[in-house]
Amino acid sequence: MDLCNAPFGGIGGLVMPLLGHGRWPKNPKYCAGCFGMLRANHGGAEVECSLLFADVRGSTPLAEQMSPRNFNRLMGRFYDVGFDVLIDCDAFVDNLTHGPGPSIGAPGGP
């Protein structure tokens, strides 16, 4: 379910990105326009959130035993699954890298 009223499919899905309301890369359930407005008009608000830092235990020894290409593919699959789970819980994914980076979730998620 999309959480933004911008049309992401059909004719609207073709036109809205041209108007700055395409899918937002950090959570494709929202449009970029929603967050552009927030960025331009931000204020001091206290917002409850959760941060997730995931460390893949044993990844360094595993990487030493694999080719860089195969390790990159393996970690890519890990991050793809993680991204999908976070988006399904309405999280905003700030950063998914093979290094440190937070993802931010709204309160009340699983």
Higher pLDDT, 101 or 92: 92
Given a cut of 60, whether residue 100 has pLDDT beyond it is no
- The CA distance from 106 to 110, in Å, is 10
Tell me: do 27 and 57 sit in the same domain. Answer: no
**Residue 89 sits in which domain range?**
47-110
Residue 48: is its pLDDT beyond 60?
yes
Verify that 54 and 38 share a domain, yes or no: no
Q: Are 53 and 87 within one domain?
A: yes
Identify whether the C-beta of residue 38 lies closer than 8 Å to the C-beta of residue 30: no
Cα–Cα distance, 26 to 57 (Å, whole number): 25
Give how many domains the chain has, as a whole number.
Answer: 2
Query: 10-19, pLDDT tens digit by residue?
Result: 888 888 888 8
Supply the pLDDT for residue 65.
94
